[in-house]
Amino acid sequence: MDHFLYRDGVLHAEDVAIPEIAAAVGTPFYVYSTATLTRHYRLFEEALAGMPHLVCYAMKANSNLAVIRTLADLGAGMDVVSGGEYRKARAAGVPGDRIVFSGVGKTAEEMRLALTGGIRQFNVESEPELLVLNAVALSMGLRAPVTIRVNPDVDARTHEKIATGKKENKFGIPIGRARAVYAEAAALPGIEVVGIDVHIGSQLTDLAPFEAAYAKLADLTRQLRADGHAIRRLDLGGGLGIPYERSNADPPLPADYGAVIRRTLGDLGAEIEIEPGRLIAGNAGLLVSSVIYVKSGEDRDFLILDSAMNDLIRPAMYGAHHDIVAVAEPAPGTALHPYDIVGPVCETGDTFARQRAMAPLVAGDLVAFRSAGAYGAVMASEYNSRPLVPEVLVRDDHFAVIRARPSFDEMLKRDSMPEWLQARDDA
């Protein structure tokens, strides 16, 4: 459920009419709903109620400072994957002891940053990383709290680019090597083992792969405890999918996911950490865009929008589906027309949807991409020298720009001329 509904024939974000934001900000823009972010965060809180737990929002899904603070104010921890995300979490006011640091390629510099600012744990992904972290921590006179990410070799049955739990993927250590690596970790004076970590992929629409992975994790927990390791925390990663296509069967709910966790891991007395990103932010955001032209091709009509693959890359990159709706609600019974919905970027990959049935649209009409709050703005680029899309946050009947569109002057100033090309500017 989200808070983007038609009222009096106009799409609203909570109590704000989308055209009102478009008039103030210009298109394209991303708009997020505080009520939806809050609701989705709370669904996870409720799903884990009664078990010691921390919901660590995966910031990679949407790392705007205002989004982070909204969630942090509700009690969320953060899952970060870079020094940049760590700094953003701290800048948004998240205490270090609520931040977990994931990622296959943490640098010594990022480790130092997190150890200096405070960190709940590093989710270590390899033996070389363990050795570097040990050295960094010792050089600072500290012990670094770690979980080790194990790769359980389960098929997440999701898009190959976002599946992470098979043995051929680059993530974690093979679960079969876990005992040896934990023994190695326990012998390192700069390392404090606190738990185990797993994350099998993203946009999972079936609970069976989670269940299989968590059952393996339960066995491993018992084994490692028997080996003498203090396994206090189990970080289960993120990955629960969202309904991108309203017409399709809905994926399982956080409550169903919570039941799997309880069933597989509930009796271990460990603190459960989860790292959901998409389910919290995805359906809390729209990308709003204007129709620039309706172009009749030889055998089809194109809706050419002012947003493009650089603004929302998921369709081009993963063949992802996003529902696209008219901001002005079509009258009931309006005959639908098939359009290829495209952006202005100069490649055919810049196609959002082919032969999508829509009520007829004309130049100047506003449309909204649904489910664009996760992996939308964060994956945007300035390809074709198109300015980064601004972001807007709505709460009840207010809205605020939470990242402004850069001016072309700002964009020009980001590049600089080497001295041998400057003559003309000086003349």
Q: Which residues pair with 40 in a beta bridge?
A: none
Question: Alpha-carbon torsion 19, 20, 25, 31, what sign?
Answer: negative
- Taking the complex as a whole, the smallest distance from the CB of residue 157 to ligand LLP amounts, in Å, to 13
- Taking the complex as a whole, the smallest distance from the CB of residue 91 to ligand LLP amounts, in Å, to 21
Site for ligand LLP in 296-355 (CB under 6 A): 314, 318
- Taking the complex as a whole, the smallest distance from the CB of residue 358 to ligand LLP amounts, in Å, to 23
Among 199, 216, 229, 386, binds ligand LLP (CB under 6 A): 199
CB nearer to ligand LLP: pick between 237 and 343? 237
Measuring CA to CA, how many Å separate 52 from each of 43, 141, 146, 268, 272?
Answer: 16, 30, 18, 11, 6
Distance CA 207, CA 211 (A): 6
Q: What phi, psi does 222 have (nearest 5°)?
A: -60, -45
Is residue 176 within 8 A of residue 124, CB to CB? The reply is no
Q: x/- string (CB under 6 A) for ligand LLP, residues 71-110?
A: --------x----------------------x--------
- Taking the complex as a whole, the smallest distance from the CB of residue 281 to ligand LLP amounts, in Å, to 8
Stretch in the footprint of ligand LLP (CB under 6 A) among 126-134, 199-207, 248-256, 389-397: 199-207
Q: Is 238 in the site for ligand LLP (CB under 6 A)?
A: yes
CB nearer to ligand LLP: pick between 170 and 413? 170
Distance CA 288, CA 21 (A): 10
What residues have CB less than 8 Å from 387, skipping those under 6 apart? 405, 406, 407, 408, 411
Count of residues interacting with ligand LLP (CB under 6 A): 21
- For residue 399, give the 3-state DSSP assignment: strand
CB nearer to ligand LLP: pick between 278 and 395? 278
- Taking the complex as a whole, the smallest distance from the CB of residue 225 to ligand LLP amounts, in Å, to 24
Question: Alpha-carbon torsion 35, 37, 39, 42, what sign?
Answer: negative
- Taking the complex as a whole, the smallest distance from the CB of residue 274 to ligand LLP amounts, in Å, to 9
| Residue from 331, 346, 412, 423 carrying the catalytic annotation | 346
Distance CA 417, CA 425 (A): 9
Among 28, 190, 195, 276, binds ligand LLP (CB under 6 A): 276
Q: Which residue is nearest to ligand LLP (CB)?
A: 238
Among 131, 135, 162, 359, binds ligand LLP (CB under 6 A): 162
Distance CA 74, CA 139 (A): 36
What residues have CB less than 8 Å from 19, skipping those under 6 apart? 10, 327, 366
Distance CA 89, CA 210 (A): 28
CB nearer to ligand LLP: pick between 41 and 375? 375
CB nearer to ligand LLP: pick between 14 and 79? 79
Distance CA 145, CA 62 (A): 26
- Taking the complex as a whole, the smallest distance from the CB of residue 374 to ligand LLP amounts, in Å, to 6
Among 275, 350, 365, 391, binds ligand LLP (CB under 6 A): 275
Distance CA 284, CA 2 (A): 6
Active-site residue flag, 56: no
CB nearer to ligand LLP: pick between 115 and 279? 279
Q: Is 277 in the site for ligand LLP (CB under 6 A)?
A: yes
Q: Is 203 in the site for ligand LLP (CB under 6 A)?
A: yes
Q: x/- string (CB under 6 A) for ligand LLP, residues 27-46?
A: --------------------
Site for ligand LLP in 169-198 (CB under 6 A): none
- For residue 215, give the 3-state DSSP assignment: helix
CB nearer to ligand LLP: pick between 251 and 276? 276
- 136 torsion bin: left (phi>0), alpha (psi -120 to 50), beta (else): alpha
Distance CA 371, CA 280 (A): 11
Q: Is 375 in the site for ligand LLP (CB under 6 A)?
A: yes
Distance CA 264, CA 22 (A): 47
What residues have CB less than 8 Å from 128, skipping those under 6 apart? none
- Taking the complex as a whole, the smallest distance from the CB of residue 158 to ligand LLP amounts, in Å, to 9
| Residues within the interface to ligand LLP (CB under 6 A) | 58, 60-61, 79, 102, 162, 199, 202-203, 237-239, 275-279, 314, 318, 374-375
Q: Which residues are catalytic?
A: 346
